[in-house]
Chains A and B, each alone.
Chain A
């Protein structure tokens, strides 16, 4: 347990240092109607100890992005380009796109763990929970069976589950319990990063709350880093430190959670925030966004939001705006926005440094 405590301290002291740098990541699907560019040029930086929310509507490429982060993209999907630089705890830089499959396997779960979208079916139906813990712990450490049996109840307790859950089978657990079992697995190996894909979808509000609290505790108690992917803006408001807004396969805005909600910069983010109903205050019509999401087989030219944008300018259909930091009086971090409205007027030099 002492080793574990030490690891937790290390996590906390490393907070704020870079963990993951995603550069120009492109994930395409081969479809009958051509190549679908679901994720097309994503730039993203994740720092240790933060909860980074990724927001966006259905079809914006959120889930494709999360599976690509762990190199779990399945055919017909393929990673068309880009790099994912992982900063290991001892300062080593690894490009996850370039390492061998065997090396990638050793990074999975030990460094990068994954809460899948369909957590309901993510546990092996014919194995006891404790055996599934044993599988993953054994794959990444040399602990004995007895040691593993001893720590599993403790891990379960940390996510608010009874120790006897270890002896149960997945079909004997509720959806929220399964979700927490998986979170406990991430805690078991003290993963640097947990990528949670729609962790609250298909759960009732009470269990959503429990899962949100458990995820929050991952960061607060264990100093873990969480990438939280969901279309549910309320979850972002509750948990995230920073929010990255995805539109049409790329990131259009990254900023502090307060800034995103109070003072969104990108016209798409403005529309997104404007469409959230609020409790209290004066009654107003929800604004929403005109038009529909474009097709990933045929993105609009230039800025992909221009056909729906109320502020569209001449330059928009011609040039792709870059994700650049802009001056912002109140925010602690300079927000990053990919919009010609800001590149024309306010953008500072320096380019795509991912928000440092």
Chain B
């Protein structure tokens, strides 16, 4: 039987198209380039997909912002004319890209976004295009949240590593419980307490706005001082809780590490405890924290709505709330797209950096 089988016609491999085999050869010869290219392709696709979904999602909101807007104008100006208002509505619909059916609107929007790099006029500040409205709010948000995120990450990881490393000491046990408790308190609660104590009772720090309106925006010492003073309360209220969460996370990652053989061995090598903690213990468990930092930094672009509202901070979060109130499609879309862009880009960078951070990580075959 075996002979008969072996004498059968040779099983022919289905021949691949030349392009496919060329691609295969390339991925084998340049694994890193192929991986980065594939990852970048996925990134672009996800970006497009999420923008598309957001577009249709917001168009599903009932109510036409232009009608509402015109109505307001007309009642304000008291010159009601059916004919004139028809023409006006038509004009604004044209400007805001609300003409035609949903797919025509989609085409118009995507053309405007990707070819003209324009989000369209904002309603909040007509006729300024939305991207300028957002760009005005963005520095405040990035300044406040970016700095706060970095500060709380560094503090949280360092302190978390310390309380994990000295986990037998009563002091670190105490701080472990404190941080676990703190990490479950909503930060706006802390913000309210801080505002009440430091602002209303002691009158030490301002509780509202980003700077003293007495100063004009510029690089003067007075302005910078005012900006820092105004940022302290919102920043601290985020940082306190943020540090506690990062500490709990870091400690949880480090403690199971401490039983590892390579730490005992590092001690047997006669290395200094600090050296063992940083280069042996932390290097092996901080990867989730690095990823967490990247994602946190990527997700600051939509602002922190609660804190910015609470402190009346002129950031993106505040702008977002105003835009939703006015049904300002273009600004809402712009902010959501910015947030999507931030998170996706952070993920892309992390994915590309990962093999450098941990040699055991390999994405390509």
Contact = CB atoms under 8 A, between A and B. Distances in A.
Given A125-B360, A126-B358, A136 B269 contact: yes
Interface stretch (A28-36, A114-122, A217-225): A114-122
A67 B359 CA distance: 30
B39 interface: no
Contacts of B271: 105, 135-136, 139
A113 B268 contact: yes
Given A72-B264, A116-B264, A118-B261, A127 B270 contact: no
B265 A126 contact: no
Interface stretch (B47-55, B70-78, B276-284, B294-302): B276-284
Interface in A135-182: 135-136, 139-140, 169, 171, 182
Contacts, number: 78
A125 B265 CA distance: 12
A129 B272 CA distance: 19
A169 B362 CA distance: 13
Contact of B275 (A106, A122, A135): A135
16 contacts: A72-B267, A105-B270, A105-B272, A108-B270, A116-B261, A116-B268, A119-B261, A124-B266, A124-B284, A126-B283, A127-B283, A136-B269, A136-B271, A139-B270, A140-B270, A171-B360
B279 A123 contact: no
A169 B265 contact: no
B16 interface: no
B266 A108 contact: no
Nearest to A114: B268
Nearest to B358: A126
Interface in B336-365: 358-360
A120 B283 CA distance: 19
A185 B283 contact: no
A220 B168 CA distance: 44
B332 to A, nearest CB: 44
Interface in B11-59: none
Given A121-B261, A122-B262, A107 B267 contact: no
Contacts of A67: 264
A109 B268 contact: yes
Q: Among A122, A128, A139, find the residue whose CB has the most chain B CB atoms closer than 10 A.
A: A122
A125 B268 contact: no
A102 to B, nearest CB: 9
Interface string A82-100: 0000000000000000000
A172 B279 CA distance: 20
Contact of A125 (B262, B266, B267, B272): B262
B3 interface: no
A139 B260 CA distance: 21
Contacts of A119: 261
Nearest to B359: A169
A67 B264 CA distance: 10
B265 A123 contact: yes
A105 B262 CA distance: 16
A110 interface: yes
Contact of B284 (A126, A135, A182): A126
Nearest to A121: B261
Interface in B209-262: 260-262
A245 interface: no
B349 to A, nearest CB: 20
A70 interface: yes
Nearest to B270: A108
Given A116-B265, A135-B271, A182-B265, 4 more contacts: A70-B268, A105-B272, A107-B270, A124-B284
Contacts of A126: 283-284, 358-360
Contacts of A128: 359
Nearest to A122: B265
B268 A169 contact: no
B360 A122 contact: no
A125 B281 CA distance: 10
A124 B270 contact: no
A75 interface: yes
Nearest to A75: B168
Contact of B261 (A75, A107, A109, A122): A122
Contacts of A120: 261
A71 to B, nearest CB: 10
Given A122-B262, A123-B262, A109 B270 contact: yes
Contact of A139 (B269, B283, B358): B269
A127 B266 CA distance: 12
Nearest to A171: B360
B288 to A, nearest CB: 14
Interface hub of B261, B269, B359 (most chain A Cβ within 10 A): B269
B272 A139 contact: yes
A74 interface: yes
Interface string A56-92: 0000000000010010101100000000000000000
Contacts of B264: 67, 72, 74, 116, 122
Nearest to A105: B270
Given A121-B260, A122-B262, A169-B359, A108 B279 contact: no
A124 B257 CA distance: 12
B123 to A, nearest CB: 52
Contacts of B280: 124
A262 to B, nearest CB: 36
A135 B272 contact: no
Contacts of A70: 268
Contacts of B269: 108-109, 113, 135-136, 139, 185
Which of A107, A125, A126 is most buried by chain B, counting CB atoms within 10 A of its CB?
Answer: A126
A114 B261 CA distance: 12
A72 B284 contact: no
Contacts of B266: 124, 135
B168 A124 contact: no
A210 to B, nearest CB: 20
